[in-house]
A and B are shown apart, each in its own frame.
Chain A
Amino acid sequence: MRNKQINILFLLLVVCTAWITTDRFVFKPKPVKLEIPKGWPQPVYDFTKNPLTQEGILLGKTIFYDPQISKDGTISCGSCHQQFGAFNTYDHNLSHGLENMLTTRNAPALFNLAWQKEFMWDGGINHLDLQFLAPLTAHNEMGETVDQVITKMKESPQYKKMFKAAFGDEIISTERIGKAISQFLLTLVSSNSKYDKVKRGEANFNLPEGLGYEIFKQKCISCHTEPFFTDFSYRDIGIPEDAYLKDKGRMKITGLSTDSLKFRVPSLRNVAVSFPYGHDGRFYSLMNVFEHYRRNMVVTKNTDPILRNKLPLSNYEIGQLKAFLGTLTDSVFLQDIRFAPPGINDGKPPVDNHQ
């Protein structure tokens, strides 16, 4: 009798141990290490709080490209952040939300976000994990509530499975959605342009590109600092306020009049494909931007001190600068299938339908 009891106990122990250990084996997401390009500083994103895994990245990408997260099922993050435009809205001044609504800003290109501390043109969002909440809940973007998104995801067996694979159980929460999207966004590293190859000794600038780089270093680099081609600061570059949009930029965040009309210095990586330019997309082309700097700037008391006399540029200099800026296009990044919408093109690189 006693022996039998011991046997049952032993059996129970084995079953329990097996149960516990199998559970542990089931949740074993595959870690992914973000490659830091040579010569770049350490990322500012704290990966210890949200370690990259294949499952997490895949979940993030799925959410990024899922229009069901918007109120009427028409707008995904990918609607306004298109890979062939370096994740800006290709050829659109203001991004489009649901029901034919426009936003008030140009959707910024997305890359190298692990090195960026603040987001949006005014820097209002202080952590990447929080970024998705703004377009998701804005009435003129996706117009949806987080609770509703979670409800929709809970009805999807696919999402339940993916959340379990990424986080160990099927719980879907604001925090997990934010972290998963961040995981995908963090993998968007653009560091394979011709410029990068030249820096690595794998290629050479042609003559105009090389001359353009020298001019760039004299006239542009103090704000568009290497290797990110932005110093992530907020500056007034003499873009007058749009009478309709009335966008005060950074001042909306800090409440300081000295921040009026200041906007984040955008990165110039992939600049040739991420037109139109400016916080409200008012510049159609690079030529427009050069014209702005050399002629059309409206200098006021907030205008950056280094631009008090505008930015004199000769036609010759503009030509060389354009050649150099072209070397910042990272075609590997623009066509990387890891970043393309899931299930699109049978694993072939994305196609730029606009050409």
Chain B
Amino acid sequence: MIRKIFFISCLLILKNMVTGQTGNTDAIIFNFNFNQSPFHLEKEYITDAGEAVRIYKMKFYISGLTGVTTKGDTITLSKEHFLVDAEDTSSQIIKVQAPKLQYLVFTVGVDSLKNTSGIQSGVLDPSRGMFWTWNSGYIMAKLEGVSSQANTAGNRFTHDVGGFRSPFNSTRKIQLLIPQNKINNTSVYIEVNLAKWFTGKYSILLTEQPICHTPGKLAMQLADNFVTGFTSLEK
């Protein structure tokens, strides 16, 4: 009898996996824009502060992916870390298995345990260029490019945002309300407005601050700016 029940439940689970229930969430998709214009690497944009920027690199980690279902239950979507890279579209799609979600909650950055527990592999491999070797810890998000306003060699600006120790913990938790206007859509779309990196909360001028390479006040401000650029849309 027990075996029968087990067998039937296995079949049911399998069926769910294959067909997928209506309204289930199966992917979270990140999409970049620059003040609502489609974003392309190396293309010139003008920031809200009037500075011209061409962005060559844009990467950030996310972790602690959880969701709140339409029924109000909090569920863990993944315990993994993900590295979202503007250069790599496959990194912008995160597969999940969850019922219909009302809220999506995640952290931009790497959780402090991974910053202190030695060498990691996969997307957290230090060779991915998102790790500070001289001051152990991950770069949570990096935006690098060229701006004629940056008074640096090659007009390059490098904003590497990291730091996990208080008072300069640069990880930021984000909670997004997912619009419920269309049922049957199985992906959650997250728009990331990169114009907010410079002016979301604080106005960071590249004339004045083209370089961020250490945990500290500037990294904290850039982190605060960055998270104001995240919104959820249902397409």
Contact present for B121 and A175 (CB under 8 Å): yes
Given A134-B134, A138-B134, A255-B214, decide whether A127 and B116 contact each other with a Cβ distance below 8 A.
Answer: yes
Residues on the A chain within 8 Å of B134, using CB: 120, 124-125, 134, 138
Interface presence of A236 (CB below 8 A): no
Chain A interface mostly: helix
A179→B120 CA distance, assembly (Å): 10
A interface footprint on B114-131 (CB within 8 Å = 1, 0 otherwise): 011111110001110001
Check A133 against B165 for contact (C-beta < 8 Å): no
Q: How far is the CB of B85 from chain A (nearest CB, A)?
A: 16
Quick one: given A174-B119, A254-B165, A255-B215, are A125 and B126 in contact (CB under 8 Å)?
Answer: no
Query: Is the pair A129, B133 in contact by a Cβ cutoff of 8 Å?
Result: no
- Does A252 sit at the interface, judged by CB under 8 A? yes
Roughly how many angstroms separate A125 CA and B214 CA in the complex, as a whole number? 14
Assess A253 versus B116: contact at CB under 8 Å? Given A147-B127, A174-B121, A174-B127: no
Whether B116 and A126, one on each chain, are in contact in the complex, defined by CB atoms closer than 8 angstroms, is yes
Centre residue among B121, B134, B137, B165 by max chain A CB count within 10 A? B134
Which residues 110-133 in A have Cβ within 8 Å of B in the complex?
A: 120, 124-130, 133
In contact, B216 and A255 (Cβ under 8 angstroms): yes
| A252 x B125 contact (CB < 8 A) | no
CB of A127 within 8 A of CB of B118, answer: yes
Contact residues of B between 86 and 137, Cβ < 8 Å to A:
115-121, 125-127, 131, 133-137
Q: Is there a chain B Cβ closer than 8 Å to A150's Cβ?
A: yes
Inter-subunit contact B126/A146 (CB<8 Å): yes
Report A181-192 CB contacts with B as 1/0, cut-off 8 Å.
000000000000
What distance in Å separates the Cβ of A49 from its nearest Cβ neighbour in chain B? 7
CB distance from A263 to the nearest CB of B (A): 15
Most buried by B among A126, A173, A179, A252: A126
* Residue A78 lies at the interface, judged by CB distance under 8 Å to chain B: no
Closest to A134 in B: B133
Q: How many A-B residue pairs have CB under 8 A?
A: 66
Chain B's interface: helix, strand, loop or mixed, by majority? loop
Chain B residue at smallest Cβ distance from A256: B167
Complex CA gap A132/B57 in Å reads 26
Tell me, rounded to whole Å, the shortest Cβ–Cβ distance linking A84 to chain B.
27
Known: A174-B126, A255-B215. A179 touches B135 (CB 8 A): no
Q: Once the chains bind, are A127 and B117 in contact (CB under 8 Å)?
A: yes
Q: Which one, A124, A128, A137, A178, contacts B135 given CB within 8 A?
A: A124
B117: A residues at CB distance < 8 A: 49, 127
Interchain nearest-CB distance for B116 vs A (Å) = 5
Our pick among A129, A136, A252 for the contact of B118 (Cβ within 8 Å) is: A129
Judge whether B127 and A145 touch: CB under 8 Å.
yes
A127 engages B136 (CB within 8 Å) = yes
Bound-state CA distance A178–B127 (Å) is 12
* Chain B contacts for A130, CB-based, 8 A: 118-119, 126, 133, 136
Whether B168 is near chain A, meaning CB under 8 Å from some CB there, is: yes
Q: Which residue of B lies closest to A171 (CB)?
A: B121
* CB contact under 8 A between A252 and B135, given known A130-B126, A145-B127, A174-B127: yes
Can you name 17 extra interface pairs (CB under 8 A) apart from A145-B127, A255-B168? A50-B118, A125-B135, A127-B119, A127-B136, A128-B118, A129-B119, A134-B133, A136-B133, A146-B126, A174-B126, A174-B127, A175-B121, A179-B119, A252-B135, A252-B214, A253-B135, A255-B216
Can you list the 7 inter-chain pairs with the closest CB atoms, starting with the nearest? A146-B127, A133-B133, A129-B119, A178-B119, A127-B118, A124-B135, A129-B118
Binding site for A on B (CB under 8 A): 115-121, 125-127, 131, 133-137, 165, 168, 214-217
